[in-house]
Amino acid sequence: MAENLKRGDGLPPAMTRLVKELSRLPGIGEKTASRLAFNLLNRPRDQVIALAESLLEMKERVGLCSECFALSDNPKCQICEDPARERDLICVVEGPADLMALERARSFGGLYHVLHGALSPLDGIGPDDIKMTELLTRVSPPATVREVIIATNATVEGEATALYIARALKPLGVKATRLARGLPAGGDLEYSDSATLASALTGRREL
Amino acid sequence: MAENLKRGDGLPPAMTRLVKELSRLPGIGEKTASRLAFNLLNRPRDQVIALAESLLEMKERVGLCSECFALSDNPKCQICEDPARERDLICVVEGPADLMALERARSFGGLYHVLHGALSPLDGIGPDDIKMTELLTRVSPPATVREVIIATNATVEGEATALYIARALKPLGVKATRLARGLPAGGDLEYSDSATLASALTGRREL
């Protein structure tokens, strides 16, 4: 009896469109998107407007710092502009999220360089696809950089990128260091993988 | 050395604001919100604008149908406006998501009534807090309603609401029915809970 009805999904088109847009986000399927859309529908008007405006503002204002390529809503980022930062110490990271993690750790007082990727020949990502030339230009004379800390990830790509950078820095006479590897804080020997334990042994320090 | 620096989170304020707004959403913590924000930052401009606009459009346009209280961007919803729908058969649901689920099942050709909640004395939700009076007005003379299918959830609150509606409909002489309970499609006896099995037994049908 109910076969010849015009069937939608029982939602007004404006909701269907919002569900579609939300489900483009990573890790958000159609079910979660509907749940979010219903939740937003029941929110005070101001909150939904605030979310929409912050999306537009982000897209409009956030670009890359001209010096270190961190995310910034000014030509130069807050860190590069901060006179209290050591300017001859540069920490190289793969992406903005890595920079955030290091800033949260509150133990680095130099500048950053964000590569926006890592070398990965299999995916066709070479030195020209990331901010590699920009890094070499930045540490070449007349700049005086004391040390470059290579803080790429401890993955195959991150290690390859670190090696590449270290080799490129050698002729420039700039000291290149790599983040230490070993047991994470709270790490349990029993549950550590062999690669971590091997690094922890190799990198052991005298007490 | 790095203690006396002005520390942010290493993000430009526009990103921080977006992360804050996104993390208000249900089931989205600060980490997921950052991941979403980075993803949105790397999206084409059009897509982010489309999302922001669909948020605003939803909030601006979506209201409730004046007849059945389903979500609608017109005074009356698509289902109430559809002349092919049986107008003397009303299915009562707790919320818009329940209506969607029934529409997806494609086996109901009548109209709906969305209560926007269920009776729950413990949470202080009584008949006046949901669209109960509106339901009774809708099925009272001069309206001629053949049957009201009570499709509230099979929870304590849903059952209480169903009973309340059935009692209120009796003096009006309107037939009230409840969705069948029993094994779900693909349901396995071995893994069914006792309440489901009890309903399946009570509601058994001759073949």
Q: What is the pLDDT of residues B10-62, one digit of tens each?
A: 788 888 899 999 999 988 998 899 889 989 988 888 999 999 999 999 988 89
B38 and A34 Cβ atoms separated by less than 8 Å: no
Closest-CA residue in chain A for B23? A51
Residue intervals of chain A classified under CATH 1.10.8.420 are 2-61
Q: What percent of chain B has pLDDT over 70?
A: 95
Closest-CA residue in chain B for A114? B10
Q: How far apart are the first and last CA of chain A?
A: 82
Cβ contacts of A81 within 8 Å, gap of 6 or more: A74
Q: Is the pLDDT of residue A10 over 60?
A: yes
Q: Which residue has the tokens 């209201």?
A: B63
Q: What is the pLDDT of residue A164?
A: 94
Size of interface A-B (CB pairs under 8 A): 197
A195 by DSSP, 3-state: which?
A: helix
Does A96 lie at the interface with B, CB-CB under 8 angstroms?
yes
Q: Is the pLDDT of residue B9 over 80?
A: no
Q: Which CATH superfamily is domain B2-61 in?
A: RecR Domain 1 (1.10.8.420)
* Assembly ipTM: 0.71
Cβ contacts of B120 within 8 Å, gap of 6 or more: B157, B160
Tell me the Cα Rg of chain B: 24
Number of Cβ within 10 Å of residue B96's Cβ equals 25
Does B8 lie at the interface with A, CB-CB under 8 angstroms?
yes
* Contact yes or no for B56 and A35 at CB 8 A: no
Residue intervals of chain B classified under CATH 3.40.1360.10 are 71-206
Q: Which residue has the tokens 């729950």?
A: B120
Q: What percent of chain A has pLDDT over 70?
A: 95
Most B CBs within 10 A among A59, A66, A72, A81, hence the mutation to make, goes to A59
Helices (H), B23-155: 30-41, 45-61, 78-81, 96-105, 132-139
Q: What is the pLDDT of residue A6?
A: 56
Q: What is the pLDDT of residue A87?
A: 92
A136-145 pLDDT tens trace: 999 988 888 9
B104-124 pLDDT tens trace: 878 888 999 999 999 998 889
Q: What is the pLDDT of residue A188?
A: 75
A 48-77 residues inside an 8 A Cβ radius of B: 48-62, 70-74, 77
Task: Tell whether omega for the bond before B127 is within 30 degrees of 0, i.e. cis.
Answer: no
Query: Topology of domain B71-206, per CATH?
Result: Dna Topoisomerase Vi A Subunit; Chain: A, domain 2 (3.40.1360)
Does A105 lie at the interface with B, CB-CB under 8 angstroms?
no
Q: Classify the phi-psi angles of A138: left when phi > 0, otherwise alpha if psi is within -120 to 50, otherwise beta.
A: alpha
A19-75 pLDDT tens trace: 999 999 988 998 899 889 989 988 888 999 999 999 999 988 898 999 999 999 889
A36 and B54 Cβ atoms separated by less than 8 Å: no
Who has greater pLDDT, B202 or B20?
B20
Q: Are β-strands B71-72 and B63-64 bridged in parallel, bridged antiparallel, or unpaired?
A: antiparallel
Q: Is the pLDDT of residue A206 over 80?
A: no
Q: What is the pLDDT of residue B132?
A: 93
Burial A18-28 (b: 16+ CB within 10 A, else e): bbebbbebeeb
Please state, rounded to an integer, the average pLDDT across all residues of chain B. 87
